[in-house]
Amino acid sequence: MKIGITCYPTYGGSGAVAAELGIQLSQRGHHVHFVSYALPFRLPTFQQNLFFHQVEMMSYPLFEHTPYTITLAAKMADVAMAEGLDLLHVHYAIPHAVSAVLAREAVGGRLKVLTTLHGTDITLVGTDPSLRSITRLAINMSDRVTAVSSYLEQRTRETFLPDRPIRVIPNFVDSSRFRPGRDEEARSRFARPGERILLHISNFRPVKRVTDVIRIFAVVQREMPAKLLMVGDGVERFTAQHLARELDIEKAVFFLSRQEDIPGLMKVADLFLLPSELESFGLAALEAMSCEVPVIASRVGGLPEVIEDGVSGLLRPVGDVEGMAREALRVLADDALHLRLAQAGRRRVLEHFDAPRIIPHYEALYRELLGE
């Protein structure tokens, strides 16, 4: 099949999943064409059957802001005609589904449009009164719609009352890349022998509650030698850095900005923290589990669908800094518990969220669409 994919190229779960999906599909022999304003951050610069088409941003004095939705739609239509695309698979309803629907009309309606909902396009952006009606239209005008968790599917139904069914296809991880292993040389760059390393990865938006990560670590560091790696960037980075200075732990906290080698970072970590206010799925937690890094996260959104509390990870209420810190100390001090959670996490990934289990669901959906 010839498949067009559009996602946000910046740091975040939806872009990561879209890129990984494209990589997996190209390896299965499909021709995959990414259309966006920049190369998605996890996409390789060259791979057989994988192509990138950049949306050129128009500059015109009449426009105070570049009309990206229209420009993207035009590029989608051009690529679809030039490459003979069978369908467009867009990640995020706003603006990507709107652009895809316009592109479909521009090429005469022969293209199929599959929209995958990831989270904040429904729980934040789409619920804004100024965008609610157009978000609902984009969902209803798509030929098929998927959501990455049952939580998100239900939330979409309650918020938008869509006319069409929404199929749940969960996020996935390539367990052959995100695999267990410990890199002692890399660990030595951050911690001395005997010190524990805690890890957080996100786009540092307010919903990620990165200051909770700092506060949890401050409690842990008072009880045992430890370091914290903060990977990512965003509006809350300065606030988190300031809090680390206030708590006098800044020398134990490494702000590493955006990193490409996430599997490599997992190999230095003893524990992963994800105390988010909301996660529609929690891809970073899944990647940690695949690498046998125990996860402590919030009991919210789609996370309970990923993590079995007390079995393949630990869940606490949102904002329960003390509770998460206690659990972190318990896991880091008990080697048997650490090993049990780590192995159960990996096992859950292999049984439910491994790429070879999930990709065929998308392929079947594509074929269902094209069969119509």
Structure confidence by residue, pLDDT tens digits, 319-354 = 999 999 999 999 999 999 999 999 999 999 999 999
State whether 249 and 343 are in the same domain. yes
DSSP state, 355? H
Average pLDDT, the chain: 93
The answer to whether the beta carbons of residues 189 and 274 sit under 8 Å apart is no
Q: Give the separation between CA 361 and CA 372, rounded to whole angstroms.
A: 17
State whether 150 and 216 are in the same domain. no
Residue 305 is which amino acid? E
Residues near 228 by beta carbon (within 8 Å), at least 6 away in sequence: 197, 198, 199, 200, 213, 214, 217, 221, 249, 252, 253, 254
Whether residue 264 lies inside any domain: the answer is yes
pLDDT digits (tens, 9 = 90+) for 68-117: 899 999 999 999 999 999 999 999 888 999 999 999 999 998 899 999 99
Name the pTM for this structure.
Answer: 0.92
Whether residue 177 lies inside any domain: the answer is no
Whether residue 56 lies inside any domain: the answer is yes
State whether 162 and 196 are in the same domain. no
Q: Give the separation between CA 357 and CA 279, rounded to whole angstroms.
A: 22
CA angle 364, 368, 369 (to 5 degrees): 120
Q: Give the separation between CA 195 and CA 192, rounded to whole angstroms.
A: 6
State whether 119 and 196 are in the same domain. no
Whether residue 178 lies inside any domain: the answer is no
Q: Give the separation between CA 314 and CA 232, rounded to whole angstroms.
A: 23
Least confident of 52-56, 130-134, 347-351, 367-371: 130-134
In the predicted structure, residue 145 carries a pLDDT above the cut 70:
yes
State whether 296 and 359 are in the same domain. no
Whether residue 223 lies inside any domain: the answer is yes
Q: Quick one: pLDDT at residue 331?
A: 98
The answer to whether the beta carbons of residues 47 and 20 sit under 8 Å apart is no
State whether 143 and 60 are in the same domain. yes
The answer to whether the beta carbons of residues 353 and 168 sit under 8 Å apart is no
Whether residue 159 lies inside any domain: the answer is yes
Q: Give the separation between CA 207 and CA 278, rounded to whole angstroms.
A: 6
Which residue, 331, 301, 305, 327, is CA-closest to 316? 327
Buried b (16+ CB within 10 A) or exposed e, 110-131: ebbbbbbbbbbbbbebbeeeeb
Residues near 251 by beta carbon (within 8 Å), at least 6 away in sequence: none
State whether 363 and 344 are in the same domain. no
Least confident of 59-63, 243-247, 261-265: 59-63
How many CB atoms lie under 10 A from the CB of residue 185?
Answer: 8
In the predicted structure, residue 14 carries a pLDDT above the cut 90:
no
State whether 341 and 249 are in the same domain. yes
State whether 361 and 283 are in the same domain. no
State whether 279 and 335 are in the same domain. yes
Q: Give the separation between CA 231 and CA 200, rounded to whole angstroms.
A: 6
Please report, rounded to a whole number, the percentage of residues in the chain having pLDDT higher than 70: 98
Which residue, 1, 74, 2, 3, is CA-closest to 37? 74
- pLDDT band, very low/low/confident/very high, at 31 (cuts 50, 70, 90): very high
Residues near 183 by beta carbon (within 8 Å), at least 6 away in sequence: 264, 267, 268
320: containing domain: 184-353
Q: Give the separation between CA 322 and CA 216, rounded to whole angstroms.
A: 7
In the predicted structure, residue 126 carries a pLDDT above the cut 70:
no
The H or E element spanning position 13 is: helix 13-27
Domain with residue 155: its CATH number is 3.40.50.2000
State whether 195 and 134 are in the same domain. no
pLDDT digits (tens, 9 = 90+) for 192-212: 999 999 999 999 999 999 999
State whether 48 and 148 are in the same domain. yes
Structural domains counted in the chain: 2
Whether residue 179 lies inside any domain: the answer is no
